[in-house]
C-alpha cells in the first residue's frame, strides 16, 4: 500500500512542498520515486510522518525531531514512542473537554442570570504553562526586558503597535476567506509581517523557527488568542498557525 505525495499532503493537512522539504533534509524520504519524478510513500513512511507531526505539535524543531526518530530502532521502539504520544494527547483532550464544559456553564449561567463560581469558570484553563515555556526557552530576563519595553512606550506607540496586529489579523482572515493556501504567496507575505511584528515586541530579537511556529500553535491552543483571530472569521486561528509554521520552515530553519 502506498500513497502519492498529493494524497499524503491533503490527508495530513500540510503541503507537498513541506513534504519535499522533509525529504530534502533526510527527515521523511519517499519509499519510491517514479520515473516521472512523483514521490510515493508506504506504510512505514506514513507512520514516520505521524511521529513527525506529533513531535512538531510538542514544539520540537526539525533537527531535534531527526535525533528522536534516528534514536528509535525497530517497530517496538516506534510503538513505545506512539504510546507516549497517545498519553499526552489523551491528557490534552481531557483538558480541552473541561474547558468546553466550563464555557458552556458560564454561557448558561450568564443567560439565566445565575451567580458564577470561579472554580467553574476557570476549570481547565492553565495559562501558567505558557509562562513556564517562555521562561524555559528565553529566560526570565527576556520577559522582563519585554515588559520594560512595553511600559516605556507612549500611548500613541502602544496604539500603533496594537493597530498593526489588528491589520495583520484582518488580512489573515481575508486571505483565509478568499480560499488562499497557508503556504501561498499572499499568506506568506502576511506571515512575514507577523514575524516582524513579533520581532518588534521582542526588541528586534527575531524568534527562531521553533519559537515562531510555537507562537502560532499557541494562537490555536490558547482560547484567548484563538478567539482574537477567529473573531475576524471562523478558522482564521488555524490558518495563521499553518502559515506561520510554513514561514518558519522556509525562512527561519
Looking at the chain, the whole-number percentage of residues with pLDDT higher than 90 is: 28
How many CB atoms neighbour CB 139 within 10 A?
A: 11
**Closest by CA position to 222, among listed 130, 132, 152, 151:** 130
Residue 187 has a pLDDT of: 96
pLDDT in tens, 7-35: 998 888 888 888 999 999 999 999 999 99
Q: Is the pLDDT of residue 176 over 70?
A: yes
Confidence class of residue 59 from pLDDT cuts 50, 70 and 90? low
| Overall pTM surpassing 0.75 (yes/no) | no
Q: Is the pLDDT of residue 135 over 60?
A: no
Q: Of 97-111, 124-138, 231-245, where does mean pLDDT reach its minimum?
A: 124-138
Confidence class of residue 116 from pLDDT cuts 50, 70 and 90? low
Name the more confident of 60 and 28.
28
Count of residues in the chain? 253
Q: Is the pLDDT of residue 180 over 80?
A: yes
Q: Is the pLDDT of residue 67 over 90?
A: no
User: Residue ranges of the alpha helices (H) in the chain?
Assistant: 5-12, 16-24, 43-57, 62-71, 75-112, 118-121, 128-152, 155-177, 185-201, 209-221, 223-230, 236-247
Confidence class of residue 74 from pLDDT cuts 50, 70 and 90? low
Confidence class of residue 230 from pLDDT cuts 50, 70 and 90? confident
Name the helix (H) or strand (E) containing 2: strand 2-4
Q: Is the pLDDT of residue 97 over 70?
A: yes
Residues near 224 by beta carbon (within 8 Å), at least 6 away in sequence: 127
Q: Is the pLDDT of residue 103 over 90?
A: no
Average pLDDT, integer, range 30-58: 87
Amino acid at each position: 500500500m502506498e500513497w502519492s505525495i498529493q494524497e499524503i499532503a491533503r490527508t495530513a493537512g500540510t503541503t507537498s512542498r513541506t513534504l519535499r522539504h522533509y525529504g530534502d533534509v533526510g527527515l521523511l524520504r519517499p519509499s519510491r520515486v517514479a520515473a516521472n519524478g512523483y514521490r510515493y510513500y508506504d506504510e512505514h513512511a506514513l507512520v514516520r510522518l505521524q511521529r513527525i507531526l506529533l513531535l512538531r505539535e510538542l514544539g520540537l524543531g526539525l533537527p531535534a525531531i531527526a535525533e528522536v526518530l534516528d534514536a528509535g530502532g525497530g517497530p517496538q521502539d516506534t510503538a513505545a514512542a506512539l504510546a507516549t504520544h497517545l498519553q499526552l494527547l489523551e491528557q490534552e483532550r481531557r483538558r480541552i473537554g473541561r474547558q468546553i464544559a466550563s464555557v458552556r456553564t458560564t454561557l448558561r449561567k450568564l443567560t439565566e442570570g445565575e451567580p458564577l463560581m470561579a472554580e467553574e469558570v476557570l476549570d481547565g484553563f492553565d495559562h501558567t504553562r505558557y509562562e513556564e515555556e517562555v521562561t524555559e526557552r528565553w529566560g526570565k530576563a527576556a520577559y522582563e526586558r519585554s515588559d520594560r519595553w512595553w511600559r516605556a512606550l507612549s500611548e500613541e506607540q502602544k496604539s500603533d503597535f496594537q493597530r498593526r496586529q489588528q491589520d495583520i489579523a484582518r488580512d489573515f482572515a481575508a486571505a483565509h476567506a478568499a480560499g488562499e493556501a497557508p503556504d501561498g504567496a499572499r499568506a506568506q507575505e502576511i506571515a512575514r509581517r507577523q514575524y516582524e511584528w513579533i520581532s518588534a515586541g521582542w526588541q528586534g530579537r527575531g524568534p527562531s523557527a521553533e519559537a515562531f511556529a510555537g507562537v502560532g500553535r499557541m494562537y490555536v491552543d490558547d482560547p484567548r488568542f484563538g478567539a482574537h483571530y477567529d473573531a475576524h472569521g471562523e478558522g482564521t486561528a488555524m490558518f495563521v498557525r499553518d502559515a506561520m509554521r510554513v514561514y518558519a520552515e522556509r525562512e527561519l530553519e
